[in-house]
C-alpha cells in the first residue's frame, strides 16, 4: 500500500542539507519527488545516501532557456516546488514564485534558507552552526565554563530547517484545498531554531530558566537528568525527573530515598551528582542497563551508531532497516491505514530523466529532444 502522501507531486531543485531532508520526508511518506539536478558533478546514487533516497532525478542545465521552459511545464503538474538557493537566484533563472504561479496558481512554493527571504543577513553565507548561534540555541548547549557544543546539525538544518519546511508545505497544501490558491512558504533555519527554543525563552521570562549553560533542570546541571560514565568507559543516560521515577533510580543504585528529600534544591545537585557518578563508575554500562531494564527509572544505555539499530526495541519496531552496508532510519511517523513502504534507494544523477518527463506529461520525442540538448 502506498504511503499517505501518494499522489502528491513535488519538484525538488537539487541542494544540500535541509532541502533534501525535507524532500526525503515527503518521499518517505509516498510523495512522488522529482529532483532537478545539474548535469555535471558527482554521479551520486549510493544506496547509503539516506537524504537522497526515495525520488527520481532529472539532470538539466538551467542556464539554457529550453531547460527553464521544461521546468515550467513540470510546474504545471506539480503540487509543490522546493528550492534552497539564496534569495533571488530562482527569480534570475526565470523560476521564481511569480513565474511558477502564472503557470500553476495552486502551487505551494517552498523556500529553504538560513536567514529567510529578507533581512540584513538574507544574502549572507552560513551553515547550521551560524544560524543557531544567533537564536540562543547554540549558547545553551554545553558544560558550564566551557565553550558551547555544536549539536551536530540537528537543530538548524534538520529540525529547524527541513522539518519546518515540510510542516509549512503541508499547512499550505491544507489551505490550498480550501482556497484553490498556492503560496510561498518562507522557511528559515533561524526562525525554526528559534521556534525549537520557544519553551526555554518562555521559562527564562518566567524566571524558571537561568541564562547560563549547565545551570538548569534539562541542560546537564540536574543529577537526575544527565549522563554518567561507567566502568567500561561507556555511558548511561538518566532522566528520572518525576518523584516516582527518582525513587526507582535510587533503588537501582542502592541508595536510601530518605536522604534525597531535598533533591530539587540546586544547591544539593553537585553533591548528588558526585555520589551518582561514583556509583555508576563501579560497574560497566550493560550491567546498569540490566539493573534498570523493565523499570520506570528512565535510565538507558547510551548507544553508538552501530549499536542503536540492534537494540531490541528498535528491532521490534523496525525503526531501522539495512541498506548499502549499514542501517537507515525507516520512514516516520507510522500510519495505521496507509503505512509507508520501504523507500527506494537513492538514484544516480539524471538516471530517471526520460521516464520521469513522460510521466509528467512530455511526449517521448519531447523528452529525448530536451535531454539531447543538455
Look-up of cell digits 538507558 = 300
Q: Which residue segments constitute the domains of the chain, with CATH numbers given? A: 9-196+344-372 (3.40.50.10540), 225-310 (3.30.1540.10)
CA pair distance 357, 366, nearest whole angstrom: 9
For residue 374, pLDDT beyond 90: no
pLDDT band at 373 (very low <50, low <70, confident <90, very high): confident
Query: What average pLDDT does the structure give for the chain?
Result: 97
Q: Residue 351: name the closest of 59, 32, 70, 51 by CA.
A: 59
Phi and psi, residue 147, nearest 5°: -70, 155
Task: Give tens-digit pLDDT for 166-183.
Answer: 999 999 999 999 999 999
Beta carbons within 10 angstroms of residue 94's beta carbon: 15
Look-up of cell digits 560514565 = 229
Beta bridge partners of 339: none
Confidence (pLDDT) at 340 = 94
Confidence (pLDDT) at 1 = 74
Contact, 327 vs 314, CB < 8 A?
no
The whole-model pTM stands at 0.95
pLDDT band at 265 (very low <50, low <70, confident <90, very high): very high
Residue 87 C-alpha cell reads as 534569495
Contact, 19 vs 81, CB < 8 A?
no
pLDDT band at 315 (very low <50, low <70, confident <90, very high): very high
pLDDT band at 113 (very low <50, low <70, confident <90, very high): very high
Residue 315 C-alpha cell reads as 528491532
Residue 234 zone, left/alpha/beta (φ > 0; ψ -120 to 50; rest)? beta
Beta bridge partners of 10: 33, 80
Task: Give tens-digit pLDDT for 28-79.
Answer: 999 999 999 999 988 999 999 999 999 999 999 999 999 999 999 999 999 9
For residue 241, pLDDT beyond 90: yes
Question: Residue 126 half-sphere exposure, CB side, CA atoms within 13 Å?
Answer: 25
Beta carbons within 10 angstroms of residue 175's beta carbon: 14
Contact, 189 vs 124, CB < 8 A?
no
The set of catalytic residues is 127, 157
Amino acid at each position: 500500500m502506498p504511503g499517505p502522501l501518494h499522489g502528491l507531486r513535488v519538484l525538488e531543485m537539487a541542494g544540500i542539507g535541509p532541502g533534501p531532508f525535507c524532500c526525503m520526508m515527503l518521499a518517505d511518506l509516498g510523495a512522488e519527488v522529482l529532483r532537478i539536478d545539474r548535469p555535471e558533478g558527482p554521479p551520486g546514487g549510493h544506496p547509503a545516501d539516506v537524504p537522497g533516497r526515495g525520488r527520481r532525478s532529472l539532470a538539466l542545465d538551467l542556464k539554457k532557456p529550453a531547460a527553464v521552459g521544461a521546468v515550467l511545464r513540470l510546474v504545471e503538474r506539480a503540487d509543490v516546488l522546493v528550492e534552497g538557493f539564496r534569495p533571488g537566484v530562482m527569480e534570475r533563472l526565470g523560476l521564481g514564485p511569480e513565474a511558477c504561479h502564472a503557470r500553476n496558481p495552486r502551487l505551494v512554493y517552498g523556500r529553504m534558507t538560513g536567514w529567510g527571504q529578507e533581512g540584513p543577513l538574507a544574502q549572507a553565507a552560513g551553515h547550521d552552526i551560524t544560524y543557531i548561534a544567533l537564536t540562543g540555541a547554540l549558547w545553551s548547549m554545553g558544560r558550564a565554563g566551557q565553550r558551547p557544543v555544536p549539536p551536530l546539525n540537528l537543530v538548524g538544518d534538520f529540525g529547524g530547517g527541513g522539518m519546518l519546511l515540510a510542516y509549512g508545505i503541508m499547512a499550505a497544501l491544507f489551505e490550498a484545498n480550501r482556497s484553490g490558491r498556492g503560496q510561498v512558504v518562507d522557511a528559515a533555519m533561524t526562525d525554526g531554531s528559534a521556534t525549537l527554543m520557544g519553551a526555554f525563552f518562555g521559562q527564562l521570562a518566567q524566571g524558571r530558566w537561568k541564562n547560563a549553560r549547565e545551570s538548569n533542570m534539562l541542560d546537564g546541571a540536574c543529577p537526575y537528568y544527565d549522563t554518567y560514565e561507567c566502568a567500561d568507559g561507556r555511558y548511561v543516560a538518566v532522566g528520572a525527573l518525576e518523584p516516582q521515577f527518582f525513587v526507582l533510580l535510587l533503588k537501582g543504585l542502592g541508595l536510601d530515598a530518605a536522604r534525597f528529600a531535598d533533591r530539587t534544591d540546586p544547591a544539593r545537585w553537585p553533591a548528588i551528582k558526585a555520589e551518582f557518578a561514583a556509583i555508576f563508575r563501579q560497574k560497566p554500562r550493560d550491567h546498569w542497563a540490566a539493573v534498570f531494564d523493565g523499570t520506570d527509572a528512565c535510565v538507558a544505555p547510551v548507544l553508538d551508531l552501530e549499536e542503536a539499530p540492534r537494540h531490541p526495541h528498535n528491532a521490534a519496531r523496525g525503526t531501522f532497516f539495512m541498506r548499502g552496508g549499514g542501517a537507515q532510519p525507516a520512514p516516520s511517523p507510522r500510519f495505521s491505514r496507509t503505512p509507508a513502504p520501504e523507500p527506494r534507494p537513492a538514484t544516480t544523477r539524471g538516471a530517471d530523466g526520460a521516464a520521469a518527463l513522460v510521466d509528467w506529461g512530455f511526449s517521448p520525442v519531447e523528452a529525448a529532444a530536451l535531454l539531447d540538448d543538455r
